[in-house]
Structure 1
């Protein structure tokens, strides 16, 4: 022990020396047009809070590099002639990894031969330029600042106005709607619930996210009255994206904590190519500590994997291959002494295996000078295999339930966004989803072990969606959005049309008022449609669950570090409610 104490100052000296050698880092990234996605050349990017400031100019592809930026938090300001200036505040610059930014600029409007500039902060505006109300950009780095956030974006948004959750799971309740009505999207594709131990305590939620902050990029979160692009959602939308890996330098990360072992790697494929790779793998600490845990926790483990490969080309646009997946296992072992039974789980033998996966290939390409075309092909799978036995009064295990559900989805989506001058932008697309299902559920209503079949169905159906959304910049202070979404479900022939309308008024540089209204719908969980009694289906003709959203949002930027947002919203057949939020 004395020797260790003598070596401790030496260890601190070595750490201080290493820290002194890595006091600066590189910030790199791209600057693009927010509407068309085209690169913005010759934009000025400056670390604004440094004296003298560190700056750079973007090249013809919108790329920039800021070298020798001191570690810490910095403000990055971006400006370019013809665009509204943007300032990204408190970007965390660490010594171990380069910072990669994806910055989007909005075109400035010209009125009475003058350029009218409205200051914009990325954190307060959604990435989707079609959204005028009900949305906000979600920074993954911001999630790490919230106490108890566990780097989980779902737990972060519970601090937003009108959003609530519980400590036990990350199910999101948006203005009273059940978590199952939330839509999870990844790279523009709807995916199954991406949470470990999902659908256990609440449909739509889980224990913790399977999406590591090492790979997630900035994303959007919508709380209602969202644009027509989002169709199969009733309460809110998590529109998430994986960031591109560092295409200039290899970087590796290893972490060990209460959430598990986390290993990540990113870097370029070669020095002469702008393509990059990024992956992250996590393995649960609980599984590693199984010998130290109680008997009823044996076998509880989880693991997940996320990756993204980016392949830019000179003339054919950019291709990207992405994926996310998880595997969970949990269970309980019943006690044999009835005197020690306190809860239901004390008398149950249960084995639960869950899995989820999604993989997709995306293609983005510029068309002409004012259009951008996107297409994607993805496959998703989710499954639950559960078997439960419950002890009777004589401590004899009897069957309680058997669930074997597997859902495969094959999704093709494409969209074209075109900017017609500086005042009108339109995005139109279609989405075709093939739903392959294999549902089997049995339950014993009484405690005699006699199982009754609730669902036993296998087959395939199709959900077809088409939508269009336009945003009109009427003046420097007024914007209006109009959209229409159509859906058709081939299982029972149900279809629906959902119009969306929104208006935003920038009353002053620090005040804005937005009003949005729209019809929304969502399919129920597939096993609902196949529930039967005595072999007779009960819900085969079930229609979409529908709601009408009416949202009014007042946003007041009190000062640089304080914002007040008031969002009253009304849904059909639901009492209006008002939520307040003050941000610091």
Structure 2
């Protein structure tokens, strides 16, 4: 009898071990308030299971078989949604939050059943040139290094043919035109080794395991977004598990060594979520990412939700990161991407943001959301140059020193109200108070006025400046008919740095031609402040250092977009967009030259000799984008994106030139396949691959004779960006296995990501080498295997 009892218990344990949990929250998409009593059904099981949401919109489905499942969410008077490919494992609860849209003609007993639109944004007011991306996509795609910036490079309109950095070039715009937002507020570049004014870096400080589904916008943004010309990453942290404690341990070549914990907090459906990482290459003491030097970086992220009480919902979120690396000339190879053999360089950087998020529901149709945060971004760079290296006359001098700190206090408040099932209004204001402390001294290209035998150490920046930026806005969604929806708004921008004020109308139309076909149009005026490293440059005038760029106006861009969407078949969609961007007020030199601020952003630093600039520069971007996507179903997915575009600018000499970002074309093909394996089909074997073709970047050729005479690189600026690097090609291949435990709440995942499988020698740069006294070509990162392991329990 005892033996039979033991056998029965083991069998029950085995059966229970093959199940997981699906949970989440159901909201009204327009009012963003909970829908109590909504129905959630688990469809692809022998006996369909259904549950309903509680008063706060939460639901839980237990004993769900592992693997990819399908759920349907419905609520009387709302369009129901069918969601496929909910990944259920034994190691972690699957969280699926859903927003339902009220039917246009509200009939009490009618529920329309529509498939989920993964390409639709979280922000209901974003109509064109925008898409949603998920944590599952970031971790699934090969070559992505669990980096949202590199994930975006797979989308139409995005070009990123630089393996050493995750800069995002959107429709030919400089990467400096990108806006990063976290939990609704602008943040500095969330990357390790970032520098003042840049938006990318070699390694992301964003832990993708912390992210919820988020939005990526590439043009004609809604009115709540400002101070950006190129694109918006609108990110959000997910909440921790409100019912159970869960843990994750992970290791990867680029993401590093990681530990994460989450669980319930208090008795008001609060939770905590915290994760910390440290670089694996730093622990091993090896180089990575195109250098033989050892990069050290670490970060910690958290989101603490105190639950909902009578005074609303309160949460605290944040990221803290730091990084450092030492380039010692004796240990540097001649083809190092970031350093030289005749100098020692020391780099330190830091990034941090801490915010307080409060939301108060006002009735059942409105809410007030307020966020206050502080953030900082720091970078120091020191380089010592060897003079007459490896000779009896060898000596070393301080050649460059930079110390930049950008701190800001941000306050944002918005009021959202669903006036009816046809009209939703949102209004708010964003205020940012900046404090910029920046020092830059450099000997590069400087004369020897003090006759000590070395170029003078000139102070290009030395500022401690405070200024404010205000951005009020109002916008609305108007469902004019069942087929026609209008999103329109007005954004304003004012800075007290030089007392500029601008108004920016935004509008977008979506017309549903047929159930599977729709047309979209978007228009918007957008402004962005001149890059901070340019604004605070010094110019020596009559023996005094003067910030001659401080009065630069906002750069202006008008965006026009026309798009067509089609549901090709079940699980397939196609999208075509054409766009034009007209840019003016760019910063150019006061005398005829090829320079424009539109060409900045190709490196860690900005030009430091561009002073007395004026706002007379112009430019344009135009192109065609095609997307064909097979959403994950039947065990596989596919994504094909093609971008054909042109990016041009004019400096003060009035000559039209290519921008350095005018690659001309980008082609991406991604595909993946999963196979259920094991006796109970509880485990998964997966394969993913990506192929990228892109035109090479344009560059300004080196004047070799002038460089040899000067001892530093001199470019032929009269023919700026007239030559193009060879086309870019890269093939990545990833495979791995997911194992669900048969005995406990535990899952494993192991993968190998072969990046640049063919070891293609893509060009990084052609630059003057002062040691070889020649123009040398340096190639990007070759074949690199990224290996990772994840444990969830």
**TM-score, length-normalised on structure 1?**
0.92
Within a 5 Å distance, the mapping from 1:19-418 to structure 2 comes to 22-110=17-105, 117=112, 119-166=114-161, 167-199=163-195, 203-258=198-253, 259-270=255-266, 272-290=267-285, 297=292, 299-335=294-330, 345-394=340-389, 395-418=394-417
Match of 1:451 in 2: 457
Deviation of 1:576 (Å):
2.1
- Name the SS of the counterpart of 1:287 in structure 2: helix
Match of 1:10 in 2: none
Contact kept, 8 Å, 2:82 with 2:116, in 1: the verdict is: yes
- Name the SS of the counterpart of 1:81 in structure 2: coil
- Name the SS of the counterpart of 1:492 in structure 2: coil
Distance 1:543 1:252, change over 3 A: same
**Structure 1: distance between partners of 2:28 and 2:330:** 63
Deviation of 1:475 (Å):
1.1
**Structure 1: distance between partners of 2:28 and 2:489:** 22
**Structure 2: distance between partners of 1:79 and 1:57:** 10
Match of 2:418 in 1: 419
Distance 1:17 1:112, change over 3 A: closer
Deviation of 1:114 (Å):
9.3
Instruction: Find out whether 1:480 has 2:486 as its counterpart.
Output: yes
**Structure 2: distance between partners of 1:292 and 1:571:** 41
- Name the SS of the counterpart of 2:432 in structure 1: strand
Contact kept, 8 Å, 1:483 with 1:501, in 2: the verdict is: yes
Q: Deviations over 1:338-359 (max 9, x none)?
A: xx86665212200000001000
Distance 1:114 1:133, change over 3 A: farther
**Structure 2: distance between partners of 1:341 and 1:38:** 59
Deviation of 1:116 (Å):
8.2
Q: Deviations over 1:390-442 (max 9, x none)?
A: 22234432222111000110001100011111111110000111101111111
Distance 1:375 1:75, change over 3 A: same
Instruction: Find out whether 1:578 has 2:624 as its counterpart.
Output: yes
| Greater relative CO (CA pairs within 8 A, separation 6+) | 2
**Structure 2: distance between partners of 1:17 and 1:407:** 58
Distance 1:342 1:181, change over 3 A: closer
Q: Deviations over 1:482-525 (max 9, x none)?
A: 10000111011111110001110011121111100010111223
Match of 1:469 in 2: 475
Q: Could you list the runs of 5+ residues in structure 1 that have no partner in the other structure?
A: 1-15
Q: Deviations over 1:175-220 (max 9, x none)?
A: 00111110000000100111122249x9321123211222111101
Contact kept, 8 Å, 2:80 with 2:111, in 1: the verdict is: no
Distance 1:341 1:314, change over 3 A: closer
**Structure 1: distance between partners of 2:107 and 2:261:** 52
Deviation of 1:35 (Å):
1.3
**Structure 1: distance between partners of 2:121 and 2:286:** 46
Contact kept, 8 Å, 1:119 with 1:509, in 2: the verdict is: no
Contact kept, 8 Å, 2:288 with 2:295, in 1: the verdict is: no
Contact kept, 8 Å, 2:562 with 2:579, in 1: the verdict is: yes
Distance 1:374 1:292, change over 3 A: closer
**Structure 2: distance between partners of 1:267 and 1:513:** 44
Distance 1:321 1:75, change over 3 A: same
Deviation of 1:334 (Å):
1.1
Distance 1:407 1:203, change over 3 A: closer
**Structure 1: distance between partners of 2:268 and 2:310:** 14
- Name the SS of the counterpart of 1:576 in structure 2: strand
Distance 1:42 1:582, change over 3 A: same
Distance 1:122 1:280, change over 3 A: farther
**Structure 1: distance between partners of 2:195 and 2:497:** 24
**Structure 2: distance between partners of 1:198 and 1:19:** 49
- Name the SS of the counterpart of 1:376 in structure 2: strand
- Name the SS of the counterpart of 2:533 in structure 1: helix
**TM-score, length-normalised on structure 2?**
0.68
Match of 1:7 in 2: none
> Which structure is larger by alpha-carbon Rg, 1 or 2?
2
Contact kept, 8 Å, 1:317 with 1:364, in 2: the verdict is: yes
Q: Deviations over 1:69-123 (max 9, x none)?
A: 1111112211111111112221211111111222111111107999584725241
Deviation of 1:133 (Å):
1.6
Match of 1:544 in 2: 554
Deviation of 1:20 (Å):
6.5
- Name the SS of the counterpart of 2:382 in structure 1: strand
Contact kept, 8 Å, 1:335 with 1:341, in 2: the verdict is: no
RMSD between aligned residues: 2.3
User: Which stretch has the larger CA shift, 162-171 or 413-422?
Assistant: 162-171
**Structure 2: distance between partners of 1:342 and 1:381:** 33
Q: Deviations over 1:331-380 (max 9, x none)?
A: 2101299xx86665212200000001000001111112321110010000
Contact kept, 8 Å, 1:116 with 1:476, in 2: the verdict is: no
Deviation of 1:291 (Å):
7.1
Contact kept, 8 Å, 1:380 with 1:408, in 2: the verdict is: yes
Match of 2:728 in 1: none
Q: Could you list the runs of 5+ residues in structure 2 that have no partner in the other structure?
A: 1-10, 447-453, 583-618, 631-793
Deviation of 1:298 (Å):
5.1
Instruction: Find out whether 1:501 has 2:547 as its counterpart.
Output: no
